Structures are given as C-alpha cells and as structure tokens.
Amino acid sequence: MFVTPGYAEEVAPAAGEPHTDAGTAAHTETGAEHGGGGLFPPFDTSNYPSQLLWLAITFGLFYLFLKNVVLPRVGGILEVRRDRIAGDLDQAARMKSEADAAVAAYEQELAEAKAKANAIGQEARDEAKAEAEAKRKEIEAGLDQKLTAAEARIATIKANAMKEVGTIAEDTAAAIVQALGTGKVDKADIAAAVKAAGK
C-alpha cells in the first residue's frame, strides 16, 4: 500500500494499525476503522472556528466582489444587449412601416393612373360619340332642309300650274265665247265663272 509521506504524518495515530493488501474488502474495512477510530473530520469540532473564520472571510469578499463588480457589469452587458435588440427591432419595424407606406403610395398611384387612363378613354369615346352624333344630326338637318326645299318647290310649281290652269281656262273660255260669237263678254265675268266652275 502506498503512503504519501505528507499524509503519513497526519494520520500518525492510525499508521500503527496493521494494514494488509489482502484484498479490496480489507481496504474498505480499514477505511471504516479510521472513520470509527479517529474523529470523523466533518464532525471534529476543533476545526470549526478556523473553517467558520475563513469561510466568513472568503465568502464575504466573494459576495462583495460579485455585488460591486461582477454583477453590475454582467447586468450592464445584458441591459445594453437588450436595449440594442429592442432598438434594432424598433428600427426594423420602422423600416417595415416605411416600406409598407411606399407600397401603399405606389398602389395608390397605380390606381390613380388607372382611373385617369379610364377617364381619358371614356372622354375620347364620349367625344367621338358626340362628334358622330353631331355629324349625323347635321346630315339629317341638311336632308330635312333639302326635303322641305324640294317640297316648297313642288308646291310653287303646283301653285303656278294651278294658276296657269285658271288663266288657260279663262283664255279658253274667252276664246270659246268669242268663237260662238255671242258678243263681248266681260273679262271679269269669265274669271268669276271659271272660279265658280273650279269649285
């Protein structure tokens, strides 16, 4: 069994005990003997004051160091990162809303342009229609005019003819009367007679 020189000194009282390398069982047994024979170290009250003092010193310093140096620093790092992430997210949100606004503006412009195009098309169509209508009306008016002119001419021709029919009848009547030799007949009487006959 190997014994570290430094340790052998400390366990001097136990060192006198017979140790065998007979087997593993023997080892555990010797271990148990030590625990029972000497004072079990964690229950040895003689080292309590030293442990308490050094624990108070070391843990106290550790606490102060963490509280005043490490924790504010780590907290600061985390806070900076959180702020940064929040800022970046805000910026991203702002950019997104800007992009959305641009898209909306584009769409509105597109819609306006479409409406304008429609309006122009409609106007052109209306204009063309109105022009065609006006031309049609003009032509119709011309035709009507020509019709009435023709009718008027027919009427004058007819009236002239009718008038000429009267004079011809009168002339014919006068000639007939003359031929019959019944003397002179008043021209006015003949006209009256023709008129009466024409009725």
Partner 1 sequence: MANDPIHQFQISKLIPIEIGGLDFSFTNSSAFMVATVIVASAFLFLTTSSRGLVPSRLQSVSEMSYEFVASMLRDAAGSQGMRFFPLVFSLFMFVLVANLIGLFPYFFTVTSHLIVTFALALLVIGTVIVYGFMKHGFGFLKLFVPHGVPGILVPLVVLIEVISFLSRPISLSVRLFANMLAGHITLKVFAGFVTSLSAFGAVGVVGSILPLFMTVAITGLEVLVAFLQAYVFAVLTCMYLNDALHPGH
In sequence order, what are the residues at sequence separation of 6 or more whose Cβ sits closer than 8 angstroms to the Cβ of residue 116? none
18 lies in the binding site for partner 1 (CB under 8 A): no
61 lies in the binding site for partner 1 (CB under 8 A): yes
Q: Which stretch binds partner 1 (CB under 8 A): 48-56, 95-103, 148-156, 183-191?
A: 48-56
CB of 86 to partner 1, least distance (A): 13
Q: Which amino acid is at 43?
A: F
DSSP 46: G
DSSP 3: -
16 lies in the binding site for partner 1 (CB under 8 A): no
Q: Which amino acid is at 117?
A: A
52 lies in the binding site for partner 1 (CB under 8 A): yes
Which token pair is 119?
A: 């309006």
């003009």: which residue's tokens?
Answer: 138
30 lies in the binding site for partner 1 (CB under 8 A): yes
182 lies in the binding site for partner 1 (CB under 8 A): no
CB of 30 to partner 1, least distance (A): 7
Please check whether residue 33 is in contact with residue 17, taking contact to mean a CB–CB distance below 8 angstroms.
yes
C-alpha–C-alpha distance, residues 189 and 195, integer Å? 10
Please check whether residue 176 is in contact with residue 156, taking contact to mean a CB–CB distance below 8 angstroms.
no
Alpha-carbon separation of residue 97 from 30, 72, 106 (angstroms): 79, 36, 14
List the one residue from 16, 43, 181, 184 that touches partner 1 (CB under 8 A): 43
CB of 99 to partner 1, least distance (A): 26
List the one residue from 13, 71, 113, 150 that touches partner 1 (CB under 8 A): 71
Note the residues at the interface with partner 1 (CB under 8 A): 1-4, 7-8, 10-11, 14-15, 21, 23-24, 27-28, 30-31, 34-35, 40-44, 46-56, 58-59, 61-63, 65-67, 69-71, 73-78, 80-81, 84
